[in-house]
Amino acid sequence: MTRVITDMELWSELRRRVLTGELSKRAACREYGVHWQTLEKMLAHSEPPGYRKTAKRTSKLDPFVPVIEEILTSDRKVHRKQRHTSRRIFERLRDEHGYDGGETIVKSVVRSWKQTHQEVFLPLSHPPGEAQVDFGFADVWLAGELTKVALFVMTLPYSDAIFIQAFPRECTEVFLEGHRRAFEFFGGVPTRISYDNSKIAVGSITGSRERKVTKEFQRLKSHYLFVDHFCLVRRPNEKGHVERLLDFARRNSLVPVPRVDSLDVLNGALTHSCQQDLQRQLRGKTASKSELPAEERLQHLRALPVQTFESHRVILATSSSLSMVRFDRNDYSVPTKYAHREVTVVATVDDVKFVFEDMLIAQHPRCWNKQQLLFEPLHFLALFERKPGGFDHARPLENWDLPVCFGVLRRRLESELSGAGTREFIKVLRLLETNPVSALKDAVQHALEIGTTNCDAIRVILEYRNEEPIALFNLDGRPHLKLVRVAQTDISVYQSLLTDGVIA
């Protein structure tokens, strides 16, 4: 039986012994168990020759390969979740084209086709002063509830610096606020920023690279003076640096799933994590990441504008008959005098303001849930004064927690004034429109102590307590007034005006 030798050590030994005359060819064939022709090949080559491709055998699948290629080519134009699997291609070949071979070879052909048709990307150059922006998502335990949050990420590819913040949702206000915080973290503004084609920034696509941006994004660019760059449609690899660092930050800063009481706490931890990441030294770099951003900031980033950017979204809305304005799937109350009026909504990440003409008429903390009703009881007091019968059944007052003395005052007023007592009590509550609860509480308690319940009396007490004492006149800083001398009045001269004790 002949032997196939592929081990380099045996190959080298056999060649040495034969070519140096230590062993004859016939003896070598007998001792090593190799065929004469194999021995000749070994003596002709200093090392085993590489793999030699043999002629491909024909297969039952060969006539169907063009069909498979057509299916896979067509799949590249549809959503990836609706593309053919290998099994589905096998079933179609069997049912529609009469293929009677096995499924394994179909899978092999599909796998080979996909490997040869995978896209190859070019390494991109990242000049200093350029940035990339993207959004991602992660789960966090927020106040005991598992919540999905949006992650705003900006990176400086040249120095590999990253800034990441968590927000309740991806929207215009979050997009703007993320930029403002990132620029402050980096200590400057990049000259060029790359984006995908998010509807927050892109109003419409007008060409391969041309975009008509949204009004709010244009306002951001005008304030910070950077140049935008949008990736080609379905080509996120053009900003692959931010996507890679987003995955890195998510694995290192959000694993295990954080447990926090608020997003402010989480964002503080994320900012600290970004600062700690600057201590790493990258492969191929001569300095640590902390030194590169400083160099980039000094030489290539624009200085932050003196005026702070307002990260808000402005829209127009109309107040309903219930004095509620709908914004972002929630309803917020405004004073009843502005019902049926068009108001301007100014929304930030933290609050929602409502403006009529040039006046701020209402302000609420931002609600990130859906289909919520957010009331401010003070907005409805003017209406209750006209319709006191609905005071005990009004939804805006359901969870209004007032001091105990207010309840005592109402009972006394209703006992003394009968039906008019509720309206008088509402007049007292309206003093909260211009005074804090603590101040009115003190005034009500004092009124109850002195035995008065009248609204006007409580208003006088409140105004008296709010008055600031007049400071004594001081001559410090007025040296010229110290030289003034006022003579003492001699009241005896007034005696000359009397005649027999009577004024003449």
371-421, pLDDT tens digit by residue? 999 999 999 999 988 888 888 888 999 888 999 999 999 999 988 887 788
Q: Given this model, what pLDDT does residue 223 score?
A: 93
Share the mean pLDDT of the chain: 85
Question: Which CATH code of 3.30.420.10, 3.30.43.10, 2.40.30.10, 1.25.40.10 fits the domain covering 130-299?
Answer: 3.30.420.10
| DSSP label at residue 56 | P
Angle at CA of residue 193, ends 192 and 196, nearest 5°:
145
Pairing of strands 359-365, 330-333: unpaired
Nearest Cα residue to 18 out of 392, 10, 187, 118: 10
Distance CA(319)–CA(362), nearest Å, equals 12
pLDDT of residue 52: 57
Strand 330-333 with 373-374, pairing? parallel
DSSP state of 485: -
Helix (H) or strand (E) holding 228: strand 227-230
Position 4 pLDDT exceeds 70: no
210 vs 217: which has the higher pLDDT: 217
Confidence category of residue 442, pLDDT binned at 50, 70, 90? very high
C-alpha span between 128 and 297 (Å, rounded): 9
Which of 357, 358, 367 lies closest to 324, judged by CA?
367
| Whole-number pLDDT of residue 404 | 92
Strand ranges for 27-160 from DSSP E: 130-142, 145-156
- Give the pLDDT confidence score for residue 122 in this predicted structure: 47
Question: Around Cβ 423, how many Cβ atoms within 10 Å?
Answer: 18
Rounded Cα–Cα distance for residues 333 and 362 (Å): 8
Rounded to an integer, the average pLDDT of 421-425 is 90
Q: Which tokens is 45 given?
A: 């080559």
For the chain, give the number of residues.
504
Domain locations in the chain as residue ranges: 8-44, 62-116, 130-299, 313-374, 381-504
Better pLDDT: 57 or 113: 113
Q: Is 133 in a helix, a strand, or coil?
A: strand
Instruction: Say if residue 256 is preceded by a cis peptide, omega within 30 of 0.
Output: yes
* Residue 211 clears pLDDT 90, i.e. is over it: no
183-220: b (≥16 Cβ within 10 Å) or e:
bebbebbbbebbbbeeebbbeeeeeeeebebbebbebb
Residue 44 pLDDT: 85
- The pLDDT, as a whole number, for residue 2 is 56
- pLDDT of residue 124 exceeding 60, the answer is no
Tell me the C-alpha distance between 143 and 420, whole Å: 46
Confidence category of residue 291, pLDDT binned at 50, 70, 90: low
Three-state DSSP at 254 gives coil
Q: Is the pLDDT of residue 220 over 90?
A: yes
Structure confidence at residue 270 (pLDDT): 93
CA distances in angstroms from 49 to 14, 32, 52, 292, 495, listed in the order given: 16, 19, 8, 50, 143
Residue 381 neighbours by CB distance under 10 Å: 20
If you average pLDDT over residues 149-167, what whole number do you get?
Answer: 89
Where is 224: in which H helix or E strand? helix 215-224
The model's pTM: 0.68
* Contact status, residue 140 vs residue 258, Cβ threshold 8 Å: yes
User: For residue 365, what are the contacts with CB-CB under 8 A and spacing of at least 6?
Assistant: 350, 351, 352
**The two three-digit tokens of residue 106, written as one number:** 């179909």
Indicate the pLDDT class of residue 368, thresholds 50, 70 and 90.
very high
pLDDT tens, residue by residue, 28-70: 888 888 888 888 888 888 887 765 555 566 688 888 888 998 9
Query: Tokens standing for 215?
Result: 């009004």
Q: Using one digit for the tens of pLDDT, what is the confidence trace for 247-270?
A: 888 888 888 899 999 999 999 999
User: Which helix (H) or strand (E) covers residue 313, if one does?
Assistant: strand 313-318
